[in-house]
């Protein structure tokens, strides 16, 4: 295989890179978790289940983009032009929004903020976890709300062609 083959391959299937990155992140966090002493085996299983679920949710839109690129020939430009109503693009954005709603519910209503604080060092590679107090819970919720708003705002701007992208 020559260099041009690789260039053509990555031009068409560049969305494999984020999938590979998510898998590498999962493996890194799992490796860090093996060194940590969990209180119970149930706690350890819960940690791994949540991290695996997060990896799958993060990778799902990229998998849809990969499938769209293989089966329909959708280009990367199609995904920044949702106003053209390409079905693959709409499905991708629907999955992104479903995952945003899931993350919002997880952080705000089912203990996700506590999980992020409790396992902060495993998720970021730090040395110690911060204390679990009310201020840090509120801070995590504010940060996650802001981070969840960025893709929502971007999609709405793209949908209404706010960037004036030509067809």
pLDDT digits (tens, 9 = 90+) for 88-112: 888 888 888 888 888 888 888 888 8
The pLDDT assigned to 131 comes to 65
The pLDDT assigned to 16 comes to 81
165 within some domain = no
164 within some domain = no
Residue 53: count of CB within 10 angstroms of its CB: 12
70 within some domain = yes
125 within some domain = yes
3-state secondary structure of 164: coil
69 within some domain = yes
The pLDDT assigned to 73 comes to 77
Measured distance CA(138)–CA(30) in Å, rounded: 27
Instruction: Give 33 or 128, the one with higher predicted confidence.
Output: 33
Measured distance CA(78)–CA(126) in Å, rounded: 39
pLDDT tier at 51, thresholds 50, 70, 90: very high
Give tens-digit pLDDT for 22-38.
899 999 988 888 888 88
Total domains in the chain come to: 1
Measured distance CA(79)–CA(90) in Å, rounded: 9
Q: Write out the residue range of the structural domain in which residue 155 sits.
A: 3-159
167 within some domain = no
153 within some domain = yes
Give ∠ CA 132-134-137 in degrees, rounded to 5: 75
% of the chain surpassing 90 pLDDT: 12
């Amino acid at each position: 295989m020559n260099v041009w083959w690789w260039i053509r391959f990555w031009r068409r299937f560049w969305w494999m890179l984020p999938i590979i990155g998510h898998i590498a992140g999962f493996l890194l966090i799992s490796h860090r978790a093996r060194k940590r002493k969990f209180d119970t085996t149930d706690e350890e299983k819960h940690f791994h289940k949540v991290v695996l679920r997060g990896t799958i949710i993060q990778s799902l839109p990229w998998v849809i983009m990969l499938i769209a690129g293989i089966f329909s020939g959708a280009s990367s430009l199609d995904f920044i032009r949702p106003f053209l109503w390409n079905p693959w693009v709409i499905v991708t954005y629907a999955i992104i929004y479903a995952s945003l709603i899931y993350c919002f519910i997880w952080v705000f209503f089912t203990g996700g903020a506590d999980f992020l604080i409790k396992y902060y060092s495993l998720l970021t590679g730090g040395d110690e976890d911060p204390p679990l107090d009310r201020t840090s819970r509120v801070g995590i919720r504010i940060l996650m709300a802001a981070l969840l708003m960025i893709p929502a705002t971007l999609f709405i701007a793209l949908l209404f062609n706010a960037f004036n992208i030509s067809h």
